[in-house]
């Protein structure tokens, strides 16, 4: 996520048990009986996972549908049933439509105006935005807690008391010069990153929604560069380290792993690196709710990034190990996806095994013919598959949106849904989430000071939702009822940094 030209070298630089489905397809929690009734999921060994996937014919992932967006991409490249593996003419430029476009809240975006409560942001007229939490300062609600900075990936979960749990990453990148872990127990005493968990109450006052922070606390400590991640359907957040730093840079332990934080944690969890999921420059994860397969993105420049999937040995217990694999384009070893392709292009894909998930993971994959991507970032399940983005892919190097549809146990279809023709349309998409009511929300992380949260709507159009001129946007997610969007603005990535991060809530007035 940080713009380090050699992210693999140093990476300096500088989200309670749940018993109801959320609008984003998550939230079943640790009691998965309801989910299993809906999804047909039963505890099965890993060797049966792929049989389950094959029998599901690619329909396993239960999430919001953006079928119109996929259809739009299909129309853009009609007749490309086979993989267009040679450079082709760029797609016609997309543009912001003149007419109002439907919002994630069933309203209209319309004109962006300066927020009265948060003047650092511009939001749609008729909406309200408030800051819930600030980094680098004492917590508003928890005595003794100085909130870590560098807010990044985040997810929202329903709590049994009706409140909302947010679990939030902290992409802290302090050098390993002292014991600076933000909590105890911790994985590495010299690592300043981790996660915090927030509890948010949404109520109605005087006929309008009211959103307030109830509590926040450290829930994972001793990690570094916790960038994105993703929610699981069994009630946890997977937090990803976007670095390969370790003892060679003075840290006590190697980094570059995924860690799991349960929704019902009340303090720092016992930090367990999920080594079988791979040690690499992690970005985001997206979990197939029915099979338990975890898809993972890698943030590496120079067409050195890969898309991975992890097939657990034990459903819902990632620490038991499993098989790590990397995507390949069938018939075209080491296929480069980042340039020379038409929007809507489709490629057949399969998966190659990674024999040693703890060492030189991408090199193993490329040696077996894995596809090459440019800086993969956010990922989220949808339309029976996985949406994910390349932040600097495309002929204009300003971003691509992909969709992977599993069609069998062995593989599926990779589709280029959208490619930005210009930074004025979409500039460096990072974290993503699917809106409860349609659209892919994209948090931008550009080099320029102007940054947006934008929506790729089901008709393939880009529209603006939030504009800011500070740190990168990150962590967009929705309350279980879809009425409130939460998001972060990332500040400094060091403990002594001068720019405070912020967690915000945005909603449309008159919806109570």
Say how far apart CA 379 and CA 430 lie, in whole Å: 9
The number of angstroms, rounded, from the C-alpha of 181 to the middle of its chain's C-alpha atoms is 24
C-beta neighbour count of 118 within 10 angstroms:
20
Say how far apart CA 213 and CA 457 lie, in whole Å: 31
pLDDT at 17: 24
Based on the number of CB atoms within 10 Å of its own CB, is 78 exposed (0-12), middle (13-18) or buried (19 or more)?
A: exposed
Examine the pLDDT at 21 and tell me if it is beyond 90. Answer: no
**Mean predicted lDDT score pLDDT of the chain:** 83
pLDDT at 455: 93
Examine the pLDDT at 62 and tell me if it is beyond 60. Answer: no
C-beta neighbour count of 342 within 10 angstroms:
17
pTM above 0.95, yes or no: no
* Most confident region among 168-182, 248-262, 432-446 by mean pLDDT: 248-262
pLDDT at 436: 80
Could you tell me which of 486, 332, 327, 495 has the C-alpha nearest to residue 404?
Answer: 327
Show me where the domains of the chain are located: 33-508
Say how far apart CA 245 and CA 247 lie, in whole Å: 7
pLDDT (tens digit per residue) in 292-322: 999 999 999 999 999 999 999 999 999 999 9
**270 CB-near residues (< 8 Å, 6+ apart):** 185
Sheet containing 258-262: order of strands: 226-232, 236-241, 258-262
* Averaged pLDDT for residues 13-39: 29
CATH class of segment(s) 33-508? mainly beta
Dig out the tokens for 34 from the structure.
């309801």
Examine the pLDDT at 460 and tell me if it is beyond 90. Answer: no
pLDDT range class, residue 41, cuts 50, 70, 90: very low
pLDDT (tens digit per residue) in 184-222: 999 999 999 999 999 999 999 999 999 999 999 999 999
């Amino acid at each position: 996520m940080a713009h380090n030209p050699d992210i693999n070298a140093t990476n300096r630089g500088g989200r309670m048990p749940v018993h109801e489905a959320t609008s984003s397809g998550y939230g079943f929690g640790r009691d998965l009986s309801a989910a299993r009734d809906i999804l047909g999921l039963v505890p099965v060994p890993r060797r049966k996972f792929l049989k389950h996937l094959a029998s599901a014919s690619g329909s396993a992932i239960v999430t919001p549908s953006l079928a119109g967006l996929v259809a739009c991409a299909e129309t853009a490249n009609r007749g490309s049933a086979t993989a267009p593996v040679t450079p082709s003419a760029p797609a016609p430029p997309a543009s912001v439509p003149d007419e109002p476009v439907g919002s994630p809240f069933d309203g209209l975006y319309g004109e962006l105006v300066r927020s009265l409560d948060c003047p650092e942001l511009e939001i749609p007229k008729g909406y309200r935005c408030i800051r819930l939490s600030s980094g680098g300062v004492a917590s508003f609600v928890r005595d003794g807690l100085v909130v870590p900075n560098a807010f990044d990936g985040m997810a929202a979960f329903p709590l049994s008391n009706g409140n909302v749990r947010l679990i939030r990453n902290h992409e802290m990148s302090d050098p390993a010069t002292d014991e600076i872990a933000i909590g105890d127990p911790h994985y590495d005493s010299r690592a300043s990153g981790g996660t915090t968990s927030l509890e948010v109450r949404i109520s109605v006052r005087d006929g309008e929604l009211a959103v307030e922070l109830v509590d926040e606390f450290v829930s994972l400590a001793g990690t570094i560069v916790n960038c994105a991640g993703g929610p699981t359907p069994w009630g946890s957040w997977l937090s990803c380290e976007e670095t390969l730093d370790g003892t060679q840079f003075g840290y006590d332990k190697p980094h570059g792993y995924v860690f799991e934080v349960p929704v019902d944690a009340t303090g720092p969890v016992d930090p367990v690196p999920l080594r079988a999921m791979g040690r690499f420059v992690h970005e985001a994860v997206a979990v197939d709710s029915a099979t338990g397969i975890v898809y993972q993105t890698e943030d590496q420049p120079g067409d050195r990034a890969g898309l991975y999937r992890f097939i657990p040995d034990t459903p819902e217990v990632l620490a038991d190990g499993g098989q790590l694999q990397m995507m390949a384009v069938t018939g075209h070893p080491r296929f480069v996806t980042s340039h020379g392709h038409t929007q809507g292009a489709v490629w057949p894909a399969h998966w190659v095994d990674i024999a040693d998930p703890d060492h030189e993971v991408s090199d193993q994959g490329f040696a077996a013919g894995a596809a090459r991507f440019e800086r993969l970032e956010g990922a989220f399940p949808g339309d029976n598959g996985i949406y994910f983005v390349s932040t600097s892919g495309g002929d204009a190097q300003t971003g691509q949106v992909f969709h992977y549809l599993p069609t069998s146990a062995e593989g599926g279809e990779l589709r280029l849904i959208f490619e930005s023709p210009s930074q004025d349309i979409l500039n460096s998409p990072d974290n993503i989430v699917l809106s409860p009511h349609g659209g892919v929300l994209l948090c931008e992380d550009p080099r320029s000071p102007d940054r947006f949260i934008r929506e790729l709507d089901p008709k393939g159009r880009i529209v603006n939702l939030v504009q800011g001129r500070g740190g990168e946007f990150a962590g967009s997610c929705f309350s279980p009822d879809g009425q409130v969007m939460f998001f972060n603005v990332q500040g400094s990535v060091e403990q002594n940094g001068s720019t405070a991060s912020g967690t915000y809530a945005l909603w449309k007035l008159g919806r109570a």
